[in-house]
Structure 1
């Protein structure tokens, strides 16, 4: 699965990465790479939760 990630640098120098496909999934990092790694990990956790929830609701 591919995620669309937008990255921007804040005024304080930190980087903010956001996964466009999942509203509210964003993470900060001191570098672009750190922000991307954090937001990718968060997106995967959100996706795993979503898949688990769908599995539970469809098996009931």
Structure 2
């Protein structure tokens, strides 16, 4: 499991749980359950890191709890 901060919330609009990863621009996933949303987030983080490396960009180190979140 990656050590990036995650913000989990429910959205009535999508009828799903959303997980945002603030340290990874645009990194977010959803799921019908919290467990599914978290599992989907792990996939998204892995793919985000892979694409970022392929483009020769720097992958941010996990900082833990963010003060602005």
Q: TM-score by structure 1 length?
A: 0.76
Shift of 1:11: 2.1
Q: Which runs of 5+ in 1 are unaligned?
A: 56-60
Question: 4+ residue runs of structure 1 moved beyond 2 angstroms?
Answer: none
Over residues 7-59 of structure 1, what are the superposed CA-to-partner deviations in whole Å (9 max), with x where a residue is unaligned? 0011254100111111211111000110111112111101011112218xxxx
- For these two proteins, the number of residue pairs brought into alignment is 55
Q: Which runs of 5+ in 2 are unaligned?
A: 58-69
Q: Which has the larger radius of gyration?
A: 1
Say which structure is richer in helix: 1
Q: TM-score by structure 2 length?
A: 0.67
